[in-house]
Amino acid sequence: MKTVTRSTCCYCGVGCGVLIEAEHGRITGIAGDPDHPANFGRLCTKGRTLPLTVADHAGRALRPELRLTRDAVREPADWTVALDHVAARFADIIERDGPDAVAFYISGQLLTEDYYVFNKLAKGLIRTNNIDTNSRLCMSSAVSAYKKALGADGPPTCYEDLELAQTVLFAGSNMPYAHPVLFRRLEEAKARDPSIKWIVVDPRRTDLAALADLHLAITPGTDVALFNGMLHHMIWEGSIDPAYIAAHTSGFNELKSLVRGYTPSMAAEICGIAESDLLVAAQWFAASPAALSLYCMGLNQSSHGTDKNLALINLHLATGQIGKPGAGPFSLTGQPNAMGGREVGGMATMLAAHRDIANAEHRAQVEALWGVNGLSARPGLPAVDMFDALAEGKIKAVWIACTNPVHSMPDIERVRRALRTAEFVVVQEAFEQTDTVPYADVLLPAASWGEKSGTVTNSERRISRVRAAVEPPGEARADWWIVNEVARRLEARLSARQSEEAPNTHNDAGLFPFESPQAVFDEHRSLTIGRDLDIGALSYDVLERDGPQQWPFPAGRERGAARRYVDGTFATADGRARFHAPSYLPVAESVDARYPFRLLTGRLRDQWHGMSRTGRAGVLFNHAPQATLSMRREDAARRGLKEGELVTIASRRGRLVLPLETSDDLAPGTVFAAMHWSGQFLASGGINETTIGAVDPDSKQPELKHAAVRIEPAKLPWRLTAAKRGDVLALRAAVQPLLAERRYASIRVEADELIVVTAADIDADAAWTERLHDALGLARGDDLLEYRDPRRGRTQRIAWDAHFVDGFLLTGDTSPAAALIEQIRGETPWEGPRHAIVLLGGDTPQQRVRAPRDRVICNCKQVKQSQIEQAVAKGAALDELKSTLGCGTVCGSCVPEIKRLLTATTPA
């Protein structure tokens, strides 16, 4: 029987409502929920392809596994054995070395209920504050700035403001890629009213920047100087709002004396932009009836992330652009439930419901609510410090859930060292193939999207239900359940000791009486009462009846509040917002003669983080098929580097090899790499081999965006290209263990049933080549045509399936690869003599690494760049492209890029 289940997309913080279709226990389809106020039925490429990522259970973590010693291989275990083991190891370590010898590293992708139980386990039962999350890499600068400036965490704005804003300042956000469905709302607003101004602050010329009315391509890391300079001009021109400042804020005079020094010309010089552009930005912002800023990782992931946020919030407070429709500082949340994690206080510096660990009154409140005594006042270690403490042996055990730190943390060699040193590592994961799983002593298989239920909070503080459409595969279990089970076991072991030290007051059911996510939610709600995020009137029943709701939503209200601080009363003790006076400070690591390039990192349109899910859908590779390093064309030319050439990217911490891609969108001296690729696709662990663990002093968020690097030719004369048609997940799993043995190796997913492996090294390694040959299954059919020239180190093997090429492996001269790949992809049988196929159009040297392919711009309708360019050359405009080619008519994710092709290709 076919079922339709209302739930929420598991990717970004937009929090789109989805309708999941399922049949016979399998998810078969998805549609946007037309009634969900975040998306009104829309979905982006990632959301639309979710069913493809769950179609197959191959590669899922399906049963608990454990090993008793480090050298052993993990063996499958029963849940009871695994849960008992985790509880026993944690209890032993806590008893031997104290509660701070254990740590939890969790995730903004957990549901609020999962998060709540983890937090209660760490802080309420174990009494350690060593619980931090990947939100430290993501939202923590936004959190610290909101708290410092407005008195409480969380954006004051709502999605409707996107439609009401007259000036939109995008700062360090690539919204068409990262928050696509919200971007659709902005596009529509601007199409209705072209007088709306878009200002983009981004060192790169992104698709968004290309669409902007004003692009401020600042020198990376200089945002504070920009915002201070804009404020200088506003004060000088009298475009601030003195009445608002006087009535609702404090600290303006200190700020004013600081920004006196930030003359627009000086600020523009620091930022590397034209002074006139800075002035225009200031005027558009201050004079606007409603100015909205949308900001994300370009501000947060910085060693001065809190200051960048504060300097931007200053602009809103000084001009009164806050607390009214269409205006305000709107921090876009990255992960689907980073907000929920903040609400339950699931970080090393927070307590439940926006309370602080450092605050004795807050601790007492939580003790009373939980019925415990002796909550720890010792601050917990934030992410980067937590892994360092593991490496130093100060923390002995870590439990990692729903995040992949061996890929996503800065300077990953430090993380690997930490996990190798740790005495006990638990990894709670939905998928088997991630870079962190190999370090697990215990692997706990988690249920995932479509299989679990609870709630998430999106960027506009809106709480939505997540519902299960099918049963989890194998023995996978919901995250909250797993934690709850270990917590109950640990409680039994620890309570004897604790009752001597600080007896608890809770009743006999213990701290973990939860039998369902709903029970967890109800307890979470009770902790919010009287706090800024009060959801006293909210329950699963209300969510069922009235749909998703925003907080605050205290008892007695009909619905949650769309905007906060509308009456100018802020969440500070005196109700006034606080100006802060941040000085511009340069990035943590300056470029120099040895490391002359500034490395920027960020996201691709169709991939999600470490790709454990998006990497399962072949179609999501169309837009960007493989990991590359982008460099400005002139910079590359000056160094004699060519498109497609392999380059080494080295920093003071680590190195990796990637093919070069040249670009006109980067400023001189900057390079860019996407964050997504990991050891699942590369010989290295990805770009975080090189990034820096320097953190913001306030938020402890690391500077993932600004390392200093050196780029040089990789000089790896031995080349291999191989391809095989077949089950991509199985082929990837077979090939992945071989990647790390070569100086460069990369898996590229060419199509739903085709992978390509490229490798390069100093010398040939015949044994490795044979293992790759076997892993690809090239030997399986008897129909293998082989040619070897050992003298010249050349091998050519072509596997045939009747008249079709099924796979190949070339070493030495790999130039026939591109034509062979086309042959595999194509539908025409090979008519000529078999040996002649390798003579097919040899490609040019730069295509040896990058296959010559036409990028698919529109994933929904599979429309390629060349088709769009040809139509544009004949004079087609956007509407005609849509009607003839169909591109941009389904999810719309490609429209910004199409518009860009239009301006680039339209004959003048």
Ligand X SMILES: Nc1nc2c(c(=O)[nH]1)N[C@H]1C(S)=C(S)[C@@H](COP(=O)(O)OP(=O)(O)OC[C@H]3O[C@@H](n4cnc5c(=O)[nH]c(N)nc54)[C@H](O)[C@@H]3O)O[C@H]1N2
Q: Does 815 bind ligand X (CB under 6 A)?
A: no
Token digits of residue 137: 């890499």
Q: Does 431 bind ligand X (CB under 6 A)?
A: yes
CB of 240 to ligand SF4, least distance (A): 35
Q: Measured on CA atoms in the order 866, 872, 876, 878, is the torsion positive or negative?
A: positive
Site for ligand SF4 in 8-37 (CB under 6 A): 9, 11-12, 14-16
- Residues 536-575 as x/- pattern, contact with ligand X by CB under 6 A: ----------------------------------------
CA distances from 5 to 22, 492, 521 (A): 8, 38, 20
Binding positions for Mo ion, rule: CB under 5 A = 138, 334
Amino acid (1-letter code) at residue 654: G
**Closest to 411 measured CA to CA, from 133, 683, 679, 689:** 689
Q: Does 847 bind ligand X (CB under 6 A)?
A: no
Among 105, 177, 244, 595, contact with ligand X (rule: CB under 6 A): 177
Select from ligand SF4, ligand X, Mo ion, none the partner in contact with residue 9, using the beta carbon and a kind-dependent cut-off of 5 to 8 Å.
ligand SF4
| Continuous segment of H or E residues that includes residue 420 | helix 412-421
Cα angle at 672 between 718 and 300, to 5 degrees?
A: 140
Interface segment toward ligand X; rule CB under 6 A; list 200-208, 250-258, 391-399, 502-510: 200-208
Among 309, 428, 630, 684, contact with ligand X (rule: CB under 6 A): 428
**Closest to 50 measured CA to CA, from 22, 71, 29:** 29
CB of 50 to ligand SF4, least distance (A): 8
Site for ligand X in 506-525 (CB under 6 A): none
Q: Does 643 bind ligand X (CB under 6 A)?
A: no
CB-based closest residue to Mo ion: 334
**Closest to 630 measured CA to CA, from 590, 601, 587:** 601
Contact 498, 374 (CB under 8 A): yes
Q: Does 177 bind ligand SF4 (CB under 6 A)?
A: no
SS3 call for 579: coil
Select from Mo ion, ligand X, ligand SF4, none the partner in contact with residue 181, using the beta carbon and a kind-dependent cut-off of 5 to 8 Å.
ligand SF4
CB count in 10 Å sphere of residue 766: 12
Q: Does 440 bind ligand X (CB under 6 A)?
A: no
Select from ligand X, ligand SF4, Mo ion, none the partner in contact with residue 408, using the beta carbon and a kind-dependent cut-off of 5 to 8 Å.
ligand X
Q: Does 386 bind ligand SF4 (CB under 6 A)?
A: no
Return the number of the residue (684 or 691) whose C-beta is nearest ligand X: 691
Site for ligand X in 465-504 (CB under 6 A): 479
Interface segment toward ligand X; rule CB under 6 A; list 21-29, 315-323, 595-603, 860-868: 595-603
Contact 107, 333 (CB under 8 A): no
Interface segment toward ligand X; rule CB under 6 A; list 183-191, 195-203, 381-389, 797-805: 195-203
SS3 call for 505: coil
Among 622, 688, 721, 823, contact with ligand X (rule: CB under 6 A): 688
CA distances from 435 to 415, 574, 602, 686, 737 (A): 11, 48, 19, 10, 11
**Closest to 844 measured CA to CA, from 826, 821, 817, 812:** 817
Return the number of the residue (422 or 759) whose C-beta is nearest ligand X: 422
Return the number of the residue (401 or 863) whose C-beta is nearest ligand X: 401
CB of 595 to ligand SF4, least distance (A): 35
Select from Mo ion, ligand SF4, ligand X, none the partner in contact with residue 43, using the beta carbon and a kind-dependent cut-off of 5 to 8 Å.
ligand SF4
Site for ligand X in 407-426 (CB under 6 A): 407-408
**Closest to 302 measured CA to CA, from 410, 179, 192:** 410
Among 22, 103, 137, 281, contact with ligand X (rule: CB under 6 A): 137
Among 6, 36, 46, 85, contact with ligand SF4 (rule: CB under 6 A): 46
Matching residue, tokens 């392999």:
646
Contact 344, 115 (CB under 8 A): yes
φ and ψ at 164, to 5 degrees?
-100, -10
Instruction: Name 700's Cβ contacts closer than 8 Å, sequence gap at least 6.
Output: 136, 140, 349, 382, 383, 384, 385
Among 7, 39, 314, 498, contact with ligand SF4 (rule: CB under 6 A): 39
Number of helices (H) and strands (E), helices first, in the chain?
31, 36
Q: Does 39 bind ligand X (CB under 6 A)?
A: no
What whole-number distance in Å separates Cα of residue 517 and Cα of residue 449? 15
Select from ligand X, Mo ion, ligand SF4, none the partner in contact with residue 205, using the beta carbon and a kind-dependent cut-off of 5 to 8 Å.
none
Instruction: Name 452's Cβ contacts closer than 8 Å, sequence gap at least 6.
Output: 111, 466, 468, 472, 478, 479
833 cis-preceded (ω within 30 degrees of 0): no
Q: Does 469 bind ligand SF4 (CB under 6 A)?
A: no
Residue numbers at the binding site for ligand X (CB under 6 A): 12, 107, 109, 134, 137-138, 171-174, 177-178, 201-204, 206, 220-221, 223, 296-298, 301, 334-335, 401-404, 407-408, 428-431, 434, 446, 448, 479, 600-603, 605, 607-610, 612, 675, 687-688, 691, 704-705
Residue numbers at the binding site for ligand SF4 (CB under 6 A): 9, 11-12, 14-16, 39, 43-44, 46-47, 180-181
